[in-house]
Amino acid sequence: MTTIYMTLTRFAVMSGAYGNLPALEACIADSEEQQCRGRFFLGNAIGAFGNSDAVLDIIRNNFEITLAGNLEQEAALGSDGGGFGFTDPEDVEYSRRGFRYALESLGDVNRTWLGSWPEKVVLVLPRGRVLFVHGSPERSNEFLFESELDEERLLRWMDEERVFGLICDHTGLPWVRALPGGRFAANVGAVGLPANDGDPAAHYAIVDLLDLDRPVEIRRVEYPHDHWADRVEADGVDPAFTEPLRTGFWRIGVASLPEAERRAAEARRTSS
Protein backbone atom coordinates (compact mmCIF):
# COMPACT_ATOMS: atom_id res chain seq x y z
CA MET A 1 0.00 0.00 0.00
CA THR A 2 1.28 3.46 -0.93
CA THR A 3 -0.07 6.55 0.85
CA ILE A 4 0.18 9.94 -0.87
CA TYR A 5 -0.79 13.33 0.55
CA MET A 6 -2.18 15.97 -1.83
CA THR A 7 -4.40 19.06 -1.63
CA LEU A 8 -6.46 18.44 -4.76
CA THR A 9 -10.23 18.71 -4.96
CA ARG A 10 -10.73 18.06 -8.69
CA PHE A 11 -8.78 15.44 -10.62
CA ALA A 12 -9.04 12.95 -13.48
CA VAL A 13 -8.74 9.18 -13.10
CA MET A 14 -7.98 7.01 -16.13
CA SER A 15 -7.28 3.35 -16.74
CA GLY A 16 -7.09 0.66 -19.40
CA ALA A 17 -5.28 2.37 -22.28
CA TYR A 18 -4.02 -0.97 -23.67
CA GLY A 19 -1.56 0.91 -25.89
CA ASN A 20 -4.30 3.00 -27.56
CA LEU A 21 -2.32 6.23 -28.02
CA PRO A 22 -4.91 8.57 -29.61
CA ALA A 23 -7.60 7.60 -27.09
CA LEU A 24 -5.27 8.35 -24.18
CA GLU A 25 -4.17 11.64 -25.70
CA ALA A 26 -7.81 12.65 -26.28
CA CYS A 27 -8.74 11.90 -22.67
CA ILE A 28 -5.76 13.87 -21.37
CA ALA A 29 -6.76 16.82 -23.55
CA ASP A 30 -10.35 16.60 -22.31
CA SER A 31 -9.20 16.55 -18.68
CA GLU A 32 -7.21 19.73 -19.32
CA GLU A 33 -10.28 21.39 -20.85
CA GLN A 34 -12.27 20.30 -17.79
CA GLN A 35 -9.71 22.03 -15.53
CA CYS A 36 -8.61 18.94 -13.65
CA ARG A 37 -5.70 19.73 -11.33
CA GLY A 38 -4.22 16.25 -11.34
CA ARG A 39 -4.34 12.97 -13.24
CA PHE A 40 -4.07 9.45 -11.88
CA PHE A 41 -3.73 6.20 -13.85
CA LEU A 42 -5.08 2.89 -12.51
CA GLY A 43 -3.13 0.42 -14.64
CA ASN A 44 -3.27 -1.66 -17.81
CA ALA A 45 -1.55 1.08 -19.76
CA ILE A 46 -0.04 -1.62 -21.95
CA GLY A 47 -2.02 -4.17 -23.90
CA ALA A 48 -3.29 -5.52 -27.18
CA PHE A 49 -2.59 -2.42 -29.28
CA GLY A 50 1.17 -2.63 -28.69
CA ASN A 51 3.09 0.67 -28.62
CA SER A 52 4.00 -0.06 -25.00
CA ASP A 53 7.03 2.22 -24.73
CA ALA A 54 5.12 5.03 -26.45
CA VAL A 55 2.09 4.79 -24.18
CA LEU A 56 4.31 4.65 -21.10
CA ASP A 57 6.10 7.81 -22.22
CA ILE A 58 2.70 9.54 -22.29
CA ILE A 59 1.86 8.16 -18.85
CA ARG A 60 5.22 9.25 -17.42
CA ASN A 61 4.79 12.83 -18.65
CA ASN A 62 1.13 13.37 -17.80
CA PHE A 63 0.18 11.52 -14.60
CA GLU A 64 1.10 12.28 -11.00
CA ILE A 65 0.14 8.83 -9.72
CA THR A 66 0.31 5.47 -11.48
CA LEU A 67 -0.57 2.09 -10.07
CA ALA A 68 -0.15 -1.37 -11.51
CA GLY A 69 -2.87 -3.28 -13.24
CA ASN A 70 -2.61 -7.02 -13.80
CA LEU A 71 -0.77 -6.47 -17.10
CA GLU A 72 1.92 -4.30 -15.54
CA GLN A 73 2.37 -6.88 -12.78
CA GLU A 74 2.71 -9.72 -15.29
CA ALA A 75 5.15 -7.74 -17.44
CA ALA A 76 7.34 -6.80 -14.48
CA LEU A 77 7.48 -10.46 -13.41
CA GLY A 78 8.50 -11.59 -16.90
CA SER A 79 5.32 -13.62 -17.35
CA ASP A 80 3.62 -14.20 -20.69
CA GLY A 81 0.27 -15.27 -19.26
CA GLY A 82 -1.68 -12.04 -19.16
CA GLY A 83 -3.59 -13.02 -16.01
CA PHE A 84 -6.69 -11.11 -17.01
CA GLY A 85 -9.10 -13.10 -14.85
CA PHE A 86 -11.44 -14.32 -17.58
CA THR A 87 -13.45 -17.51 -17.03
CA ASP A 88 -14.04 -18.47 -20.68
CA PRO A 89 -11.12 -20.40 -22.29
CA GLU A 90 -11.32 -18.49 -25.59
CA ASP A 91 -11.29 -15.17 -23.71
CA VAL A 92 -8.22 -16.37 -21.80
CA GLU A 93 -6.38 -17.30 -25.00
CA TYR A 94 -7.14 -13.96 -26.67
CA SER A 95 -6.03 -12.08 -23.56
CA ARG A 96 -2.71 -13.91 -23.69
CA ARG A 97 -2.37 -13.05 -27.36
CA GLY A 98 -3.00 -9.37 -26.64
CA PHE A 99 -0.45 -9.44 -23.83
CA ARG A 100 2.17 -10.78 -26.24
CA TYR A 101 1.54 -7.75 -28.49
CA ALA A 102 2.26 -5.56 -25.47
CA LEU A 103 5.52 -7.34 -24.62
CA GLU A 104 6.87 -7.00 -28.16
CA SER A 105 7.09 -3.21 -27.80
CA LEU A 106 8.11 -3.04 -24.13
CA GLY A 107 11.73 -2.12 -23.47
CA ASP A 108 13.79 -3.19 -20.48
CA VAL A 109 13.85 0.29 -18.91
CA ASN A 110 10.07 0.54 -18.92
CA ARG A 111 9.64 -3.06 -17.77
CA THR A 112 11.76 -2.20 -14.73
CA TRP A 113 9.71 0.96 -14.15
CA LEU A 114 6.48 -1.04 -14.17
CA GLY A 115 7.87 -3.12 -11.33
CA SER A 116 7.91 0.01 -9.17
CA TRP A 117 4.21 0.77 -9.64
CA PRO A 118 2.21 0.11 -6.45
CA GLU A 119 -0.80 -2.21 -6.44
CA LYS A 120 -2.90 0.05 -4.20
CA VAL A 121 -2.77 3.76 -3.41
CA VAL A 122 -4.51 5.71 -0.67
CA LEU A 123 -4.73 9.39 -1.50
CA VAL A 124 -5.06 11.61 1.57
CA LEU A 125 -6.96 14.77 0.64
CA PRO A 126 -8.45 17.69 2.60
CA ARG A 127 -11.86 15.98 2.61
CA GLY A 128 -10.49 12.56 3.59
CA ARG A 129 -8.96 9.40 2.18
CA VAL A 130 -9.67 7.76 -1.21
CA LEU A 131 -8.52 4.26 -2.17
CA PHE A 132 -7.38 3.54 -5.74
CA VAL A 133 -7.04 0.00 -7.10
CA HIS A 134 -7.09 -1.57 -10.55
CA GLY A 135 -9.43 -4.51 -9.97
CA SER A 136 -10.37 -4.78 -6.31
CA PRO A 137 -8.55 -4.22 -3.02
CA GLU A 138 -7.98 -7.99 -2.91
CA ARG A 139 -6.90 -8.81 -6.49
CA SER A 140 -5.78 -6.68 -9.42
CA ASN A 141 -7.58 -8.98 -11.87
CA GLU A 142 -10.90 -9.15 -10.00
CA PHE A 143 -13.88 -7.81 -11.94
CA LEU A 144 -16.25 -5.58 -9.95
CA PHE A 145 -19.25 -5.61 -12.25
CA GLU A 146 -22.10 -3.27 -11.41
CA SER A 147 -24.73 -6.03 -11.46
CA GLU A 148 -22.76 -8.08 -8.92
CA LEU A 149 -21.67 -5.36 -6.51
CA ASP A 150 -21.72 -6.48 -2.89
CA GLU A 151 -22.31 -3.29 -0.90
CA GLU A 152 -21.31 -4.92 2.38
CA ARG A 153 -18.01 -5.97 0.84
CA LEU A 154 -17.39 -2.48 -0.55
CA LEU A 155 -18.03 -0.94 2.85
CA ARG A 156 -15.81 -3.48 4.60
CA TRP A 157 -12.91 -2.62 2.27
CA MET A 158 -13.49 1.06 2.87
CA ASP A 159 -13.66 0.61 6.64
CA GLU A 160 -10.39 -1.36 6.59
CA GLU A 161 -8.55 1.47 4.81
CA ARG A 162 -10.50 4.27 6.56
CA VAL A 163 -11.53 5.81 3.21
CA PHE A 164 -14.70 7.50 2.00
CA GLY A 165 -14.09 6.71 -1.68
CA LEU A 166 -13.06 3.60 -3.64
CA ILE A 167 -12.09 3.95 -7.32
CA CYS A 168 -11.28 1.03 -9.64
CA ASP A 169 -11.49 -0.27 -13.23
CA HIS A 170 -10.53 -3.63 -14.82
CA THR A 171 -14.02 -4.35 -16.18
CA GLY A 172 -13.90 -1.46 -18.66
CA LEU A 173 -17.57 -0.82 -17.83
CA PRO A 174 -18.02 2.45 -15.91
CA TRP A 175 -20.38 2.87 -12.98
CA VAL A 176 -20.82 5.07 -9.91
CA ARG A 177 -22.38 3.87 -6.64
CA ALA A 178 -23.44 6.16 -3.78
CA LEU A 179 -22.92 4.51 -0.40
CA PRO A 180 -24.14 5.27 3.15
CA GLY A 181 -22.48 8.05 5.08
CA GLY A 182 -21.63 10.15 2.03
CA ARG A 183 -19.22 7.53 0.72
CA PHE A 184 -18.91 6.39 -2.89
CA ALA A 185 -17.40 3.74 -5.15
CA ALA A 186 -16.76 4.11 -8.88
CA ASN A 187 -15.41 2.27 -11.88
CA VAL A 188 -13.79 4.75 -14.27
CA GLY A 189 -14.14 2.65 -17.42
CA ALA A 190 -11.43 2.19 -20.03
CA VAL A 191 -9.59 4.73 -22.12
CA GLY A 192 -8.46 2.27 -24.78
CA LEU A 193 -11.60 0.18 -25.33
CA PRO A 194 -15.32 1.00 -25.70
CA ALA A 195 -17.82 0.11 -22.98
CA ASN A 196 -19.45 -2.68 -25.03
CA ASP A 197 -22.45 -0.46 -25.71
CA GLY A 198 -22.15 0.29 -29.42
CA ASP A 199 -20.34 3.59 -28.82
CA PRO A 200 -16.63 3.58 -29.77
CA ALA A 201 -15.81 6.47 -27.41
CA ALA A 202 -13.23 6.32 -24.63
CA HIS A 203 -14.15 6.82 -20.97
CA TYR A 204 -12.54 8.15 -17.83
CA ALA A 205 -13.72 9.79 -14.59
CA ILE A 206 -13.48 13.25 -13.08
CA VAL A 207 -13.59 13.35 -9.28
CA ASP A 208 -14.76 16.66 -7.79
CA LEU A 209 -14.72 16.47 -4.01
CA LEU A 210 -16.40 19.85 -3.67
CA ASP A 211 -19.53 18.38 -5.27
CA LEU A 212 -21.07 16.47 -2.37
CA ASP A 213 -24.05 15.24 -4.41
CA ARG A 214 -22.15 14.05 -7.50
CA PRO A 215 -18.46 13.60 -6.70
CA VAL A 216 -17.73 11.39 -9.73
CA GLU A 217 -18.54 12.18 -13.36
CA ILE A 218 -17.92 9.62 -16.10
CA ARG A 219 -16.60 11.38 -19.18
CA ARG A 220 -17.20 10.16 -22.73
CA VAL A 221 -14.45 11.20 -25.18
CA GLU A 222 -14.38 10.78 -28.95
CA TYR A 223 -11.15 10.16 -30.85
CA PRO A 224 -10.21 8.96 -34.40
CA HIS A 225 -10.98 5.32 -33.62
CA ASP A 226 -11.36 4.15 -37.24
CA HIS A 227 -7.97 5.55 -38.22
CA TRP A 228 -6.33 3.96 -35.19
CA ALA A 229 -7.98 0.59 -35.89
CA ASP A 230 -6.66 0.71 -39.47
CA ARG A 231 -3.16 1.56 -38.25
CA VAL A 232 -2.80 -1.19 -35.67
CA GLU A 233 -4.37 -3.75 -37.98
CA ALA A 234 -1.69 -2.86 -40.53
CA ASP A 235 0.85 -3.49 -37.75
CA GLY A 236 -0.53 -7.02 -37.33
CA VAL A 237 -2.98 -6.65 -34.44
CA ASP A 238 -5.73 -9.28 -34.59
CA PRO A 239 -9.13 -8.00 -35.86
CA ALA A 240 -10.69 -9.43 -32.70
CA PHE A 241 -9.08 -6.48 -30.90
CA THR A 242 -9.61 -3.83 -33.58
CA GLU A 243 -13.25 -4.55 -34.51
CA PRO A 244 -14.57 -3.22 -31.16
CA LEU A 245 -12.82 0.09 -31.84
CA ARG A 246 -15.06 0.50 -34.89
CA THR A 247 -18.33 -0.99 -33.60
CA GLY A 248 -18.24 -0.22 -29.89
CA PHE A 249 -19.04 -3.87 -29.13
CA TRP A 250 -16.53 -6.33 -27.70
CA ARG A 251 -15.53 -9.62 -29.28
CA ILE A 252 -13.34 -10.68 -26.35
CA GLY A 253 -14.59 -10.95 -22.79
CA VAL A 254 -18.28 -11.23 -23.64
CA ALA A 255 -18.58 -14.86 -22.56
CA SER A 256 -17.02 -13.96 -19.21
CA LEU A 257 -19.55 -11.20 -18.47
CA PRO A 258 -22.33 -11.63 -15.88
CA GLU A 259 -25.74 -12.27 -17.38
CA ALA A 260 -27.02 -8.72 -16.77
CA GLU A 261 -24.11 -7.03 -18.55
CA ARG A 262 -24.22 -9.54 -21.39
CA ARG A 263 -27.96 -9.05 -21.93
CA ALA A 264 -27.61 -5.26 -21.84
CA ALA A 265 -25.00 -5.39 -24.60
CA GLU A 266 -27.12 -7.77 -26.66
CA ALA A 267 -30.12 -5.44 -26.35
CA ARG A 268 -28.06 -2.47 -27.53
CA ARG A 269 -26.66 -4.47 -30.43
CA THR A 270 -30.16 -5.54 -31.49
CA SER A 271 -31.48 -1.97 -31.38
CA SER A 272 -28.53 -0.40 -33.21
| Domain definitions of the chain by residue range | 2-271
pLDDT over threshold 70, residue 239:
yes
pLDDT interval class at 82 (50, 70, 90):
low
What is the structure's pLDDT at 271? Answer: 86
Q: For 28, how many CA atoms within 13 A lie in the half-sphere containing its CB?
A: 17
Q: Is the pLDDT of residue 241 over 80?
A: yes
- Whether the pLDDT of residue 263 is over 90: the answer is yes
**Over 90: is that where the pLDDT of 12 sits?**
yes
DSSP state of 162: T
* Whether residue 84 has pLDDT greater than 80: yes
Question: Quick one: average pLDDT of 178-201?
Answer: 97
CATH of 2-271, one of 3.60.21.10, 3.30.70.20, 3.40.50.2000, 3.30.70.660: 3.60.21.10
Higher pLDDT, 88 or 26: 26
Judged against a pLDDT cut of 90, whether residue 35 lies above it is answered with yes
- For 206, the 3-state DSSP assignment is strand
Mean pLDDT, to the nearest integer, of 168-194?
98
pTM for the predicted model, two decimal places:
0.96
What is the model's pLDDT at position 83?
65
Strand 120-125: give its sheet, edge to edge.
2-5, 120-125, 128-133, 165-168, 183-187, 175-179
Q: Which residues of 196-231 are buried (b: 16+ CB within 10 A; e: fewer)?
A: bbebbbbbbbbbbbeeeeebbebbebebebeebbeb
Average pLDDT over residues 224-238: 97
Contact 183, 176 (CB under 8 A): no
Strands 65-66 and 39-41, bridge-based pairing: parallel
Q: What is the pLDDT of residue 81?
A: 72
